[in-house]
Structure formats: structure tokens, C-alpha cells
Amino acid sequence: MKSYLLLFSFLGLFISCETDFDPIYRSAPIPVCYAFLDAEDSIARVRLSKTFILEDAFKQDNIPSDSLEFPDARVWLERWNGDYLYLRAELMQSYQAREPGLFPSSPNPIFILPKDENTARIFDPPNQKDLIKLIIDIPGYPLVYSQLSPLRPASISFPRKNGERITFYSIEGFMPKCKVYSYYQEGWIGIEYTDHYADSDILRTAWWREYHSDSSMFNPPPFKVTSEEFLMKAGIFIPDDDAVRYRTFHKVWIKIFGADRNYYEYNLRAQVSPIDQSGLPYSNLVNAIGLFAATSSTKKWGVLNYFMKDSLCYSQYTRHLKFTPW
Amino acid sequence: MSHFSYRNLFILTIMGLLFSCEAENLPPVACFSLSPDQGDSLTVFYFDARESYDPETPGFGMRLRWDWNGDSIWDTDYIKEKEYVRRFKTGSWHQVIMEATDQDGLVSLYSDSLLIFEGNGFVDSIIDPRDGQVYSIARINYQWVMTENLRFGTALDISVQPENNGITEFYNYQNNPEYAHYGGLYNWDETMNYKAEEGNQGICPPGWHVPKLTEWKDMLGIFPSKGADMNYYWGKESPSGFNLELLGFMYYTLPPDSLLSWYPKNTVAWWCSDEPADYLQDPDDFVYSIRFFMSRWEMRRMIYRFDYFWDERSLLKFACYLRCFKDMD
């Protein structure tokens, strides 16, 4: 009896101590997709690539050129009104230059849908029951799918129209007024100016974020900017450039950026690295990882009044920027 | 009762209490939403079962499996994922059944149904005995309708006005004979054969008539009138078989003013037979048409004839296509 017990114990030990552990599990590549829809854009873009595993240590030249793309993939955007199809449009495959980075020489496939008379309905102002669906058909893979509710852009009611004079020298400062419809919003201020060099002039815009909502806050209080804050931030965000002879001011931009909950959640979770690096990042795609989100951007511009322009040229925060009052 | 019996009773009571306090395992709650609930073989259906849960182990341990056609044969293995997408290749109704199973093997079922469009099975053709032309027809919502525009009569040049002369006259789109296959653009008088009467045969073949507004609405009521891709629901190879084509239409006046406008090919209009009030008495009366755009259709009142310059020669008239409806037995 004892010997049987001993035998079973050993057997159990051997079976339970199996240590086959593959640190690099060679699963099939997973589609990775990023797509942002903005009604103001003249084109919709869907970026599709895939996960891959390198056999050796990472080098620029050991990445197979086809390891980042699905050449036979087909991509559709569909707009649905409840259970009824409003528009179905297939996107065209295109290639975009890569920014410098990890894979600068690898192909960068994207799928595009230019806004024209046939496709513009994808971007129509949203109704309550509207859904925009992203469908990706990759041979040999399950269908990739995601859906979102189209976003209604914010409306800026003050400044009322482009070209109005803006002053920051009131008691309460400058307070743009806007109505927002998105889950998440940001308020941006921009200064459009020209850098005059000895041999050329370059138009630039310096942007900075003045406000952002933490979560779903419809119709948040308008953000306010005092003259001192405005000048201080202009001094920070407009870069010093010794080669610039002088600068001329053109416009002050007010931009309200809006995004849906998908965009917000993705960014929120991307800021927090999982401790064990085991979790997948936020994804709202079925059978893929990535993000399908709606954003919007509403802009208006104004001009500075005389006092503000004068301050931009001579205030302690901005005099080094070489703005001229003419 | 002896001391021994009291002790046994006490033990039994405690044990009974312990066993009876064990929570009863409940089956999981199965449910899913389906979007959309109808479509074609290209439509991707999204099944979202994230509202399903197991009361004992919320978020864990539950598995789902699916039967896509209601034949009680499971089409998937047990899976953890609560979102599923797929297309359906074959037409007609599909009953979709989902089974949710918890760790103890208790199951719950949930089902919903969806419709995959097939082409309209009720299609046929007729020969117009007056000129031998063949027209395709379809039965849509119990009404037989022409699925081509009427081409009966004689084409006129745009410089000539149709008249009540016993000859059915029409214009070609863009005044171009190459567009004769679109069908004739008739003014309302010609369409009604100069006899204003609801449901009148007009210039339709025998046994067919110019449809009333209510007949149009009844037929078109199977799909929404707006917020939908009209070509998808009414165009060629659509589930209705109506064969919608946005071919434009026109309005015109007689020379010397010769006002002329061709509506572009993002719309189309067909006549209704509803009689305008005070027909022929008030020149600014309206007649009705059904007008399609890319994403909606609507009833449009069109000026029957508009005295543009208070001059008989300047009467503005519309010319639209005609789809005849079969007379009800």
C-alpha cells in the first residue's frame, strides 16, 4: 500500500511540475486599427497594421516588409439610422510616409475615404439613433468591427463671428462662450503670427491648451483668460529664435476640441501603465486592438485690440519675442 | 426525552441550519442586443451580450455559445467573448439563439431574430398591347407596380408643347434621344390623358392606372421615408425590386421665353393621379408627385401650371416620369 502511495505521489509530482512555458507565445498576428472620425476633416482615415514577433533582437532591417500590413484587407465605413442603412462606403488603400521612429522605412498602409458628394453623408450632422460602423474584412481572420455615435461639434457663441476684436483687459478676463456636445472637451488658444527672417517670412501658429474637462461635463463653465495669463503663455509657447528679425501678429484663435468617450477612456488608460504589463490597452474593436473614436474641432478667430497688441510687443513676458505693433 | 436525544436534536438542528443556509446557485442571466436587425449578405451583424451575467460569479466563469439559424445545433463552441460579429450569406429570417453557461453547468437561453434581404421573389413582366413594349413589374407590399418608367408615345422636341391631340407625347431627358430608355417625361395633362380623375388609367396600359398618392404611400411604407439609403432599399437588386434610378426630371415653358430646367440625376419624380382642387380653374393649383433623393423620399406638391409672366405662352409646367400600378381585382 505504501509503495503505491509513493508511486502515485511521484507521478503526481512529475505531472504537476510540467514547466513548458513559452515566454513568446506565437499566436497569429492580431489586427491593430486606429481610426478617428472628425466631421471637419475632408477625409476619413483608417490605419490598419498587425502585431508581430521578432525572432531576434530588434534591428531595423530584420523586420519583414509584409509584417506590418494586411495587403488584402477591405475596409468599410457605414452609417446607420437605427436598423436602416444610410450609407455604405468602401475605403481605398493608400500609403502614407512614416514619421521618423521605429519603422521609418516600412510600409505605412492606411485606408482613406475622401469626402465627396457620394460619401459626405457619412459626416452629416448626427441624429439621435445614428451609428457609424467600421468593418474590416481580412481574409483568414474574423471580421473586425467597431461602432460609435457621431459627434456633434461644439458651437462658439462668443466671439460671435470671425474677426471680432478681443480684449483680455476686462475685470473677468476674456471668456469665450461655447456649447459642447462631446464627452470630453478641451479649450485651446492660438496666436497666428509671422516670423520675419532676413531672407524669408514664415507664417506660424502657437497653440496652448487653456482648459480641459475631466469627464462628461456638458456645457461646462467657459474658461477665462486674463491679460497677464495670455501674455505669460505667449511668452512661453512662442519660441525664441535669434534669427528672427521681427514678428507680426495676425490672429488669436479659439479652438474647442471635443472627443467621445472612447477617445477619453483610451487616453486615460494609456496614461496608466499596468504594473505587470500583462493587460491589453483599452480597445473598442471586436477581434482587433486599437481605437475607433470620434473627435470634433471648432475654431473662431479674432484680433487683438490696440492695448493688447501694445502689451504683446512691450510687456515683460513677451518683449523678447520681437513683436512689432505695425 | 433523554439527554442523548436532546444532544442529537441540537446537532441535527445546527447541521440543518448550516445546509439550509447554503446559497442556491442561480442560472446565469442571458441576453444580447443585435444591431442591425435586418440587412443583406454584406451586412455585419453585431451581437452584444455584455449585459449577460452570472449572479454568483459576475464577470467570470460564464461561457456563451451560439446557434445562428435556430436549428438547435450549436454553431460555435463555448466562448468567453461577449461580443460577436458575423455576416449571414443566406436570405430570409434567422432565429439566433444564445446559451449562457455558468461554472456549475446551469444554462440560460436567449433568442432574437434578424432578416436577411433576398431579392423580391414576385417579379414578372408585361407587354403593353398598344406598342408591344415589354415592362418589368414587381409586387411590392401586395401592389403590382411597373419597375420601369413608361415609354409609351411620341417623343417631342423641347421646342414643341404637348397637346390634347389624341397622341401621347413626352420629352426625353436633356432633349436627347439617347436617354429614351430612361422613359418619357410627361406633363401632368398628358399623364392623365387630359382627364383629371383619381386612379384614372391615363396613358397606362389597359388594366393599369396612374397611382394615387395613397397607393404610393402604401407601397413605399415598407421602408423608412428618410434617413436611409434609398438606392439600397429601392434600387437595382434591392429587396423591394423597385429598380429606383435617380434620373432627374424637368420643367419648361413655351418659346419665346423657353425657360427650361433639367433636374440633376440626384433626384427623380413620378406623377400621382390625385386631382388638384379647381382643376383647370386656377392655373396655380398643385398636383402631386413622389420625389426620391439619395436618402429620402417625399410627397411633393408641384405647380400644375404656373403663369410665369401672365402670358399663356409662358405657362410653366413640370414633366415627370410615370410608373403605372396594376388595377386591383
Digit-coded pLDDT (tens) for B26-78: 899 999 999 999 999 999 999 999 999 988 776 667 899 999 999 999 999 99
Query: Residue B42's domain is classified under what CATH number?
Result: 2.60.40.10
| Same structural domain, B150 and B272 | yes
- The verdict on residue B20 lying in a domain is no
| Same structural domain, B50 and B144 | no
Q: Report yes or no: B45 at the A interface, CB cutoff 8 Å.
A: no
Q: Tell me which residue range forms the domain holding B93.
A: 33-116
- Amino acid B91: pLDDT: 78
- The verdict on residue B189 lying in a domain is yes
Q: Report yes or no: B328 at the A interface, CB cutoff 8 Å.
A: no
- Amino acid A79: pLDDT: 95
Report the run of H or E that residue B109 belongs to, with start and end: strand B107-116
Domain final position from B116, B146, B169: B116
Instruction: Write out pLDDT tens, residues A45-59.
Output: 999 988 877 666 666
| Same structural domain, B81 and B179 | no
Residue B114: exposure state from Cβ atoms within 10 A (0-12, 13-18, ≥19) = buried
Q: Tell me the three cell numbers of residue A59.
A: 534591428
Q: Report yes or no: B88 at the A interface, CB cutoff 8 Å.
A: no
Domain final position from B116, B150, B183: B116
Lowest-confidence segment of A183-192, A273-282, A283-292, B203-212 by average pLDDT: A273-282
> From the candidates B64, B85, B89, which should be mutated to test the interface with A, based on the most A CB atoms within 10 A?
B85
Residues of chain B with pLDDT under 70: 1-5, 13-23, 58-60, 254-257, 277-285, 304-315
| Same structural domain, B94 and B239 | no
As a whole number of angstroms, the distance between CA A156 and CA B25 comes to 56
- The verdict on residue B96 lying in a domain is yes
A269 against A192, higher pLDDT: A192
**Mind telling me how many Å the CA of A267 is from chain B's nearest CA?**
23
Contact A286 B35 (CB under 8 A): no
- Amino acid B243: pLDDT: 96
Contact A286 B44 (CB under 8 A): no
**Mind telling me how many Å the CA of B47 is from chain A's nearest CA?**
11
B83 against A220, higher pLDDT: B83
- Amino acid B128: pLDDT: 97
Instruction: Write out pLDDT tens, residues A27-77.
Output: 788 999 999 998 888 889 999 988 877 666 666 565 666 667 888 999 999
Residue pairs between chains A and B whose CB atoms are closer than 8 Å: 58
Q: Whole-number mean pLDDT of chain A?
A: 84
| Same structural domain, B102 and B139 | no
- DSSP symbol at A21: -
As a whole number of angstroms, the distance between CA A109 and CA A92 comes to 10
- Amino acid A317: pLDDT: 94
| Same structural domain, B111 and B134 | no
- Amino acid B3: pLDDT: 53
| Same structural domain, B258 and B289 | yes
| Same structural domain, B111 and B131 | no
Lowest-confidence segment of A189-193, A214-218, B104-108 by average pLDDT: A214-218
Q: Tell me the three cell numbers of residue B192.
A: 392623365
**Whether the predicted pLDDT of A14 surpasses 70:** no
**Mind telling me how many Å the CA of B293 is from chain A's nearest CA?**
12
Contact A83 B36 (CB under 8 A): yes
**Mind telling me how many Å the CA of B46 is from chain A's nearest CA?**
8
Longest CA–CA span in chain B (Å) reads 126
- Three-state SS at A310: helix
| Same structural domain, B51 and B178 | no
Domain final position from B116, B144, B169: B116
Q: Residue ranges of the domains in chain A?
A: 31-55+64-150, 155-257+299-324
Lowest-confidence segment of A159-168, A240-249, A267-276, B188-197 by average pLDDT: A267-276
Class of domain A31-55+64-150: mainly beta
- The verdict on residue B11 lying in a domain is no
CA distances B224 to A89, B298, B299, Å, are 20, 11, 13
**Whether the predicted pLDDT of A22 surpasses 70:** no
Compare CB distances from B229 to A87, A117, A143 and report the shortest one's residue. Answer: A87
- The verdict on residue B229 lying in a domain is yes
**Whether the predicted pLDDT of A143 surpasses 90:** yes
ipTM of the complex: 0.83
Q: Where are the alpha helices (DSSP H) in B60-205?
A: 188-191
- The verdict on residue B185 lying in a domain is yes
| Same structural domain, B315 and B196 | yes
**Is residue A148 a contact partner of residue A37, using CB atoms and an 8 Å limit?**
yes
Q: Tell me the three cell numbers of residue B72.
A: 438547435
Q: Tell me the three cell numbers of residue B261.
A: 430646367
| Same structural domain, B151 and B288 | yes
Q: How many domains does chain B have?
A: 2
- The verdict on residue B17 lying in a domain is no
| Same structural domain, B40 and B128 | no
- The verdict on residue B24 lying in a domain is no
Q: Tell me the three cell numbers of residue B230.
A: 434609398
- Amino acid B117: pLDDT: 92
Lowest-confidence segment of A116-120, A195-199, B93-97, B122-126 by average pLDDT: A116-120
Q: Tell me the three cell numbers of residue B125.
A: 413582366
- Range A38-41 contact pairs with CB under 8 angstroms and sequence separation of 24 or more: A38/A151, A38/A294, A38/A295, A38/A296, A38/A297, A39/A123, A39/A125, A39/A150, A39/A151, A39/A153, A39/A296, A40/A153, A40/A296, A40/A297, A40/A298, A41/A115, A41/A123
